Structure 1
């Protein structure tokens, strides 16, 4: 993601991401350390996550199926 798009992106805190997934915020931090989520560091060293990326992981991954009659 480019810097211009990042400025416009919704950034979520670990607590907000944890609420979306139903896990503890420390779990979200572990996922970031493991490379499962992309974390952006603020100037103060706090992690933030791009909302669109997080929501894409939550979205159901269903493929269209053709029903035969």
Structure 2
């Protein structure tokens, strides 16, 4: 097991909650099939579980809901 330093971007992504297709569909007011189509066409990036189910970083979905807002990382340039 490799130790990671606090504040590293990969650690932050690993600790971030993942959102299901059903939750994304509800948040964006679209069908689950629409979300799956977006994944298949590359419009929405997904992480696959060991069982092959797509999951999404919560920050990615927040960015879709609020496209004009900046994250803390973007403000540190």
Query: Could you tell me the TM-score, scaled by structure 2's length?
Result: 0.70
1:28 maps onto 2:46 in alignment = no
> Runs in 1 of length 4+ with deviation above 6 angstroms?
none
Residues paired across the two proteins, number: 61
Question: 1:18-52: CA deviations, max 9, x gaps?
Answer: 00000001100111111111100000111101110
Root mean square deviation, CA, Å = 1.7
Name stretches of at least 5 consecutive residues in structure 1 with no aligned partner: 63-69
Name stretches of at least 5 consecutive residues in structure 2 with no aligned partner: 1-8, 70-77
- Cα distance in 1 for partners of 2:55, 2:64 equals 16
- 1:1-69 superposed matches below 5 A: 2=10, 4-61=11-68
Larger RCO (alpha carbons 8 Å, 6+ apart): 1
Q: SS of the residue aligned with 2:47?
A: strand
